[in-house]
């Protein structure tokens, strides 16, 4: 039980430290085109992202895949940039395509990249003779619950903004996507791996 709580807290705390800014921005960009009325879809997106990073986290911990950390950090910034640009198009072309299915697949794929970002932390914390399954499960449960809490805060904020008569929610979402995209571009330049 102690291992479960330890890794749960590590997963939960992943979003509550200064090194998680790119993860928080990614979640903001991922859900910026959704509202509280679409909570079920948003939770499916977040779960798809978690499934993706759980897969690569497990593969990394078992040493089945390994990527240089500087490339992983760069690719995480790229996922934020692509998601932000994608949302700009989605904001400008609402109803023109089945954006949710595409968003779901993108979140799943980008979760694969993000999972490699904290594989080193989990490997470092595991004892040599320690089972991997329980710590991985508890880490992911903690991370998933923290993500859901953060997403609910974002959605409630969007809802409160929608109550202000002079605020156009579509323009607000566009501003959020452009802002996340600009930050992502700076991160891409800063993390350029070559």
User: HSE of 100 in the Cβ direction (CA atoms, 13 Å)?
Assistant: 11
Task: Sort residue 97 into left (φ over 0), alpha (ψ -120 to 50) or beta.
Answer: beta
Q: What is the phi/psi pair of residue 99, to 5°?
A: -65, -35
Question: Per-residue pLDDT averaged across 104-125, rounded?
Answer: 80
- CB proximity list for 60: less than 8 A, separation 6 or greater: 66, 115, 116, 119, 120, 122, 123
Above 60 in pLDDT, residue 97?
no
For the chain, the domains span 2-190
Q: Which of 83-87, 94-98, 171-175 has the lowest mean pLDDT?
A: 94-98
Stretch (H or E) spanning 85: helix 69-92
pLDDT digits (tens, 9 = 90+) for 39-59: 888 899 999 998 998 898 888
Above 70 in pLDDT, residue 126?
no
Name the pLDDT band for 140 (thresholds 50, 70, 90): confident
Look at residues 5, 26, 4 and name the one whose alpha carbon lies nearest to residue 147: 26
Look at residues 88, 116, 93 and name the one whose alpha carbon lies nearest to residue 184: 88
Q: In Å, what is the CA distance from 114 to each residue of 55, 79, 110, 120, 158?
A: 10, 9, 6, 12, 25
What is the CA angle 17-24-95, rounded to 5?
170
Spatial separation of the C-alpha atoms in residues 191 and 152, rounded to whole Å: 30
| Residue bearing the bigger pLDDT, 113 or 123 | 113
Q: What share of the chain in percent tops pLDDT 70?
A: 89
Question: Per-residue pLDDT averaged across 31-46, rounded?
Answer: 87
Q: Mean of the per-residue pLDDT values for the chain? A: 83
Look at residues 76, 80, 183 and name the one whose alpha carbon lies nearest to residue 119: 76
């Amino acid at each position: 039980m102690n291992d479960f709580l330890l890794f749960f807290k590590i997963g939960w705390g992943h979003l509550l430290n200064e090194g998680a800014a790119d993860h928080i921005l990614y979640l903001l960009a991922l859900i910026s085109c959704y509202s509280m009325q679409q909570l079920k879809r948003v939770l499916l997106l977040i779960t798809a992202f978690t499934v993706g990073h759980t897969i690569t986290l497990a593969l990394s911990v078992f040493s089945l895949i390994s990527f240089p950390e500087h490339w992983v950090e760069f690719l995480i910034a790229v996922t934020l940039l692509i998601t932000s640009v994608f949302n700009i198009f989605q904001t400008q072309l609402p109803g023109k395509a089945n954006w949710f299915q595409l968003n779901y697949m993108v979140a799943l794929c980008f979760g694969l990249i993000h999972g490699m970002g904290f594989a080193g932390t989990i490997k470092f914390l595991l004892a040599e003779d320690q089972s991997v399954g329980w710590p991985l499960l508890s880490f992911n449960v903690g991370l998933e619950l923290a993500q859901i809490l953060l997403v609910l805060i974002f959605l409630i904020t969007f809802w409160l903004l929608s109550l202000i008569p002079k605020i156009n929610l579509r323009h607000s979402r566009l501003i959020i996507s452009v802002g996340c995209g600009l930050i992502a571009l700076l991160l891409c330049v800063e993390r350029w791996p070559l």
